[in-house]
Structure 1
Amino acid sequence: MNSLSFINFKLSIETMKKRLVLISSGFPYGKSETFLESEIKYLANVFEEINILCPEPKDTHLRSLPSNCSVAFYSKEISNLDKLKALLGLFSSTVRKELNIIKNTYQLRLSKGILSTLLISIYQAKKIAETCRNKYLKEQQKDSETVFYSYWCDDTALALALLKQEYPEIKCVSRTHGWDVYFGVHELNYLPFRHFIADNLNSIFTISNKGKEEIRETWKVKDLSTIQVSRLGVERQEIQTNQNSSVFTLVSCSNVIPLKRVNLIAEAVLSSQEPVHWIHFGDGVELNKIQKYCEENKQVHHDISFRGRLANEEVLDFYKTNWIDAFINVSSSEGVPVSIMETMSFGIPCIATDVGGNSEIVNDENGALLDSNPSFKAIQTAFKQVLNDSKKREAAYKTWEEKYNAEKNYKTFVENLMEN
């Protein structure tokens, strides 16, 4: 977004709020929540002051922030004493209502795991709410001039729901992404206090239509008037010039954990009889195992490179300077992957599983949409579908332009935040 666009955008907002309190799970420290790196610029352009509240960082590398941003911390640590104190939540009317919802609305058996989850959740949320109250709700501060925004619909969103109940005049909102909206990806098939959050926040912004559908169908929230779809976005890039590849160059970018099923990509690549160059960005608990598997099974026409966890700008620089035939994501659960938005902004076709909101960004025109649990042979077929297809590349870029353009999406989102 250029400086002139920033100025025009700022002037288009008639009533500026003075302050935004943004609660993250790590940003701006370390390398997590890279998608906030783009959004923060749009937020900083319309709020006079942004206070970022995040957990005390283990990785103390601080990313670049706009000059009107400051950072404070809350603690996520739960001691054994805290766990005992959490039991007092059983006497809370909010907890009793949640127990009733679990039994009668979700029709779930009240297991020890569910009970522990909800009691720890509300205990942690009360601690975060207290931090917000002490830091940001001073008597001399006009509450109507502050917006509280939780980037995830987790304990921090619950904290804002509690805060909103105490201070009805403040504005509190949350995003939902993937794991924080879909019950089915959790062993307990449950997420705590969804009704309480939906009933008390001013707005919940889902990043996909599928997320909003999940709120209606699984959370069983009847009043959807405060639930809005607000897609994430990435910045404009230059579409890659078409080339005819003799070697299929494939890129993936994710944590190497069971949920991401990077092993499936490895199987598809290693069983291919055609030349394949596969580059993976990211690390995780399964990395060493998959690296060893590749070393033991690759043939002369397989070129495999694990680049580890890089800063987001380094990954984007790679996309700018290297020809890529396709990007692949075979996760068992997703929201809408920012990694796919990024590659489509370069006009790179994407292969993805039909989970979460993936079908809203990937289709057979701009890549290949696989079944939710594909075989390695199905993945290999997708390789052939996207190779040297200029129309898919054009369609990928068009998808980014129409649905995941950061400037368009974040302007609209910020305008929603500014509304009274």
Structure 2
Amino acid sequence: MTRRLVMFTDCYPYSNADEWKRFELEIFAERFDEIHVASRLALTDMPDPLVPGKVNILPPVFAKGGQTRASDLAALALLARRPGLFDSGLSRGRLGYLRSSLRDVGAVLASDTWRRHVAPLLSGSHLYFFWGRGYADILPFLSRDQQLASLVRMHRYDLYPETNGGYMPFHASIVRAAGKLAPISEDGVSDLSRRFPDQARKIECLRLGTNPATMGPRRKDGVLKLVSCAHAKPVKRLHLIAEALAHATVPVHWTHIGDGPELARLRNVAKTLPDRVTVDLPGAMLPRDVPARYQTEPYDLFLNVSESEGVPVSIMEAMAAGIPALATDVGGTRELVARDTGILVAADTSPTELWQRLARFAAQDDALTEAMRTASAALVAARYDIRANARRVADAILQLPVAA
């Protein structure tokens, strides 16, 4: 029997981000006879040219700038097909969320891409949903055979209800329909198993990863060199770093890699920092260029002060180059950042407390810092090697039953 995989993504390979999906595809190409990638939305006109040649890239459901929604009538028709989606605890606000989500699903199922390119592949295929929301919202509307052949990966916004005001329209239905659920952290496994104990048997941690790398250089000029990398949006709370550096008592250089709506705010705050603090905001970089930068720049510590996370690949990339991390204790971050690989701080850490912790790191013995660098790189190599973890994902997918 042909081993065929249909991988559902949000934007990849029609985006400049999420390069690790390509590394997964390289491994999948060794394990499956056919691979088809179905993206919901295109952010670029052309797909990633480095996708393995064996992989068939399907047209996106929505071309760049072309996302639409189905009518309310079509949404009601979907609800009639799956009345169990209606939650008796819905408030007016949640009803609006359910309505818009049903219209999104209706638009996907009515699209030419779905009817001509995706739907004909479903029977006899393994189905892999990289995210637990978005394209995965179609899962409750598939046949039972197709549902049992599906693995759904879950990260943060598609896993924790509190990141969505306590409600995700199809979350419970997706959890019950999927053949296997794969949070990227043990924290996610615990959270999902607690909320759905009757589904715990099919929940397994399948981690993300990055490429193990060689150690980057050490600083030699006596300046504490900090780096962060994230889309500058409110959940990342990058302003806390700037506010912490207002208390700096030693020379500091902070580089933030990434663009976004909060970048202008960061630029304004940076202008008010003391002279001993310098800030570099280069903006967005191609994902493949970020690890290369860690190989050449002497960064002392990576910073992540998000209010919510899964297990950040951005931290893995820094640690792979021997850069320890300071991070907030949210989601599964503690599975990556521990005493020997960095500094874990409370989610509600104040700017003053954050600086105090940074100052202690700057003053610590060089031998301890070197041990943290070594431990960081070793942990990524042992637990977060993207290709090793992709093989585990492939194994889990291939164990699912596929009806002929």
What is the TM-score when the length of structure 2 is the normalising length? 0.89
Per the TM alignment, residue 19 of structure 1 is displaced from its structure 2 partner at its CA by 2.3
Amino acid at match of 1:121: S
Per the TM alignment, residue 125 of structure 1 is displaced from its structure 2 partner at its CA by 2.8
Partner of 1:265 in structure 2? 241
Which residues in structure 2 correspond to 1:160-199 (within 5 Å)? 160-165=139-144, 167-168=145-146, 171-187=149-165, 189-199=166-176
Identity of aligned residues (%): 27
1:129–1:160: 8 Å Cα contact kept in structure 2? no
1:66 paired to 2:52: yes
1:207 paired to 2:187: no
1:77 paired to 2:62: no
1:330–1:352: 8 Å Cα contact kept in structure 2? yes
1:19 paired to 2:4: yes
How many aligned residue pairs are there?
A: 388
Amino acid at match of 2:135: T
Per the TM alignment, residue 390 of structure 1 is displaced from its structure 2 partner at its CA by 0.9
2:137–2:170: 8 Å Cα contact kept in structure 1? yes
C-alpha distance in 1 between matches for 2:279 and 2:122:
57
Which stretch shifts more, 367-376 or 117-126? 117-126
Per the TM alignment, residue 38 of structure 1 is displaced from its structure 2 partner at its CA by 2.2
Per the TM alignment, residue 241 of structure 1 is displaced from its structure 2 partner at its CA by 4.8
State the Cα deviation string for residues 41-86 of structure 1 (Å, max 9, x = none).
Answer: 212232233221113424325322110122221137334x624532
SS at match of 1:229: coil
Per the TM alignment, residue 36 of structure 1 is displaced from its structure 2 partner at its CA by 1.4
C-alpha distance in 1 between matches for 2:54 and 2:360:
47
Partner of 1:4 in structure 2? none
Partner of 2:132 in structure 1? 153
Partner of 2:31 in structure 1? 46
CA distance change for structure 1 residues 258 and 142 in 2, over 3 Å: closer, same or farther?
A: closer
Partner of 1:3 in structure 2? none
1:135 paired to 2:117: yes
Per the TM alignment, residue 212 of structure 1 is displaced from its structure 2 partner at its CA by 1.4
SS at match of 2:242: helix
Which residues in structure 2 correspond to 1:20-419 (within 5 Å)? 20-63=5-48, 64-71=50-57, 72-75=59-62, 77-79=67-69, 82-92=71-81, 94-95=82-83, 97-100=84-87, 102-103=88-89, 110-129=90-109, 131-132=113-114, 134-138=116-120, 143-144=123-124, 146-165=125-144, 167-168=145-146, 171-187=149-165, 189-217=166-194, 219-243=195-219, 246-295=222-271, 297-387=272-362, 388=366, 389-419=369-399
SS at match of 1:378: helix
CA distance change for structure 1 residues 294 and 241 in 2, over 3 Å: closer, same or farther?
A: closer
C-alpha distance in 1 between matches for 2:109 and 2:188:
26
1:129–1:163: 8 Å Cα contact kept in structure 2? no
Which stretch shifts more, 237-246 or 156-165? 237-246
2:23–2:387: 8 Å Cα contact kept in structure 1? no
State the Cα deviation string for residues 187-215 of structure 1 (Å, max 9, x = none).
Answer: 3x111222221222111111001111221
Name which structure has the greater RCO, CA cutoff 8 Å, separation 6+.
Answer: 2
SS at match of 1:303: strand
Per the TM alignment, residue 136 of structure 1 is displaced from its structure 2 partner at its CA by 3.9
C-alpha distance in 1 between matches for 2:139 and 2:164:
23
Amino acid at match of 2:349: P
Per the TM alignment, residue 116 of structure 1 is displaced from its structure 2 partner at its CA by 2.1
SS at match of 1:74: coil
C-alpha distance in 1 between matches for 2:72 and 2:246:
47
Which stretch shifts more, 398-407 or 381-390? 381-390
CA distance change for structure 1 residues 317 and 172 in 2, over 3 Å: closer, same or farther?
A: same
SS at match of 1:160: helix
1:161–1:172: 8 Å Cα contact kept in structure 2? no
Which stretch shifts more, 399-408 or 366-375? 399-408
Amino acid at match of 2:55: C
Per the TM alignment, residue 150 of structure 1 is displaced from its structure 2 partner at its CA by 1.1
1:208–1:231: 8 Å Cα contact kept in structure 2? yes
- Give the unaligned 5+ runs of structure 2: none
Q: How large is the RMSD of aligned CA atoms in angstroms?
A: 2.3
State the Cα deviation string for residues 160-210 of structure 1 (Å, max 9, x = none).
Answer: 342243x458621211000100111123x1112222212221111110011
- Give the unaligned 5+ runs of structure 1: 1-15, 104-109
CA distance change for structure 1 residues 351 and 409 in 2, over 3 Å: closer, same or farther?
A: same
Per the TM alignment, residue 415 of structure 1 is displaced from its structure 2 partner at its CA by 1.3
SS at match of 1:38: helix
CA distance change for structure 1 residues 303 and 417 in 2, over 3 Å: closer, same or farther?
A: same
1:27–1:33: 8 Å Cα contact kept in structure 2? yes
